[in-house]
Structure 1
Amino acid sequence: MSLPADQHPDSLSAAAADLRMATFRLARRLRAERAVDAMSDGQFAVLAALKVHGPHTLGELAERERVSAPSMNRTVNCLEESGWVQRSPDDDDRRKVNVAVTADGRAVVEETVRRRDAWVEQALAELSDDERDTLARAARIMAELATR
């Protein structure tokens, strides 16, 4: 008895499921490498966005992270209490508050990135040259897919 084409192990849907699962497993493993164990993934995402893109209002952060403004306010409150971000009045509109990463927050992001890169480097060192070449090609393809 043969399987229908959409259930064949080599089918496009099976490949998509395999790629999705492998991507999520790798992302979960990378997220485990962090400088501060108590920091949530959402808090780290906000901290990293502020480091990379500069100060944002709460509304801009909420939009960037696709969460509600009250949820973002709670996240920023936690980050502020830990000394990783600071709020300041907007120069152009005093009703707005800008959120910026502090030096301590920047250090958390940099150490987390360093740990994640070190983990990936160690994992790559355990692979063959052919496997590393395959992953390098896959990384380029995945980066392209992410922009679609």
Structure 2
Amino acid sequence: MPETDDTDLRHTLGDLVVASNRLGRLAARVTGNTESPASWRTLSVLQGAGAMRLGELAANSRVSQPTMTKIVRNLVESEWVKRIADTDDARAWQIAITPKGAAALLAWRDELSAALVPMFADLTDDEIEALRKTVTIIGSRVDLSAATSEALAGAR
């Protein structure tokens, strides 16, 4: 890929990340929901990647292990996650999302998207299709799968 194309792609991806973060924060403010964004992020990680140890969950959520311990404690109290014995190490635990947590996450995502509808209600069919294609492209590239985790580990 020529350098100019690479620069353009880098700028576009940077703009996409910034716009996405701003959109997410705006939607969260509009809903008035007081749940910690870290809680929603943690539930999303668990839903996408499955059960994992606390340290791995902290790394995937980009928080410290002590912070994740507190988040998990609150999520356990809400019955949104559960601790399950780690089959590879009897001394360790894995954290898994519960059906109640998955339902709460689904409701939160619906609340977020409903809050944004008024801002996007005037989009044309072509613009909505462009958004759909963008979501598909991003979804095909961003995944908490084992392959992505390995690629991220190799990039360090």
Scaled by the length of structure 2, what TM-score is found?
A: 0.65
Aligned residue in 1 for 2:63: 67
Distance 1:135 1:98, change over 3 A: closer
2:81 corresponds to which of 85, 89, 95: 85
Q: Give CA-to-partner distance per residue, 1:41-85, whole Å, 9 cap, x none.
A: 001100111122211110110111122111111110111111111
CA contact (8 A) 1:33 1:115 kept: no
Single out whichever of 56-65 and 130-139 deviates more from structure 2: 130-139
Residue 129 of structure 1 and its aligned partner are, at CA, apart by: 4.2
Q: Distance in 2 between matches of 1:26 and 1:98?
A: 32
Structure 2 unaligned runs (5+)? 1-11, 144-156
Structure 1 unaligned runs (5+)? 1-14
Q: Which has more radius of gyration?
A: 1
Q: Give CA-to-partner distance per residue, 1:80-99, whole Å, 9 cap, x none.
A: 11111111221221111011
User: SS of the counterpart of 2:89?
Assistant: coil
User: SS of the counterpart of 1:94?
Assistant: strand
1:107 corresponds to which of 103, 108, 112: 103
User: SS of the counterpart of 2:90?
Assistant: coil
Aligned residue in 2 for 1:55: 51
Distance 1:81 1:30, change over 3 A: same
Q: Give the letter for the 1:49 counterpart.
A: V
Q: Distance in 1 between matches of 2:22 and 2:62?
A: 22
Scaled by the length of structure 1, what TM-score is found?
A: 0.68
User: SS of the counterpart of 2:94?
Assistant: strand
CA contact (8 A) 1:33 1:112 kept: no
**RMSD value, Cα:** 3.3
Residue 20 of structure 1 and its aligned partner are, at CA, apart by: 6.6
User: SS of the counterpart of 1:28?
Assistant: helix
Residue 23 of structure 1 and its aligned partner are, at CA, apart by: 3.8
Q: Distance in 2 between matches of 1:129 and 1:67?
A: 39
The number of aligned residues is: 136
Q: Give CA-to-partner distance per residue, 1:26-49, whole Å, 9 cap, x none.
A: 121233466x92310001100111
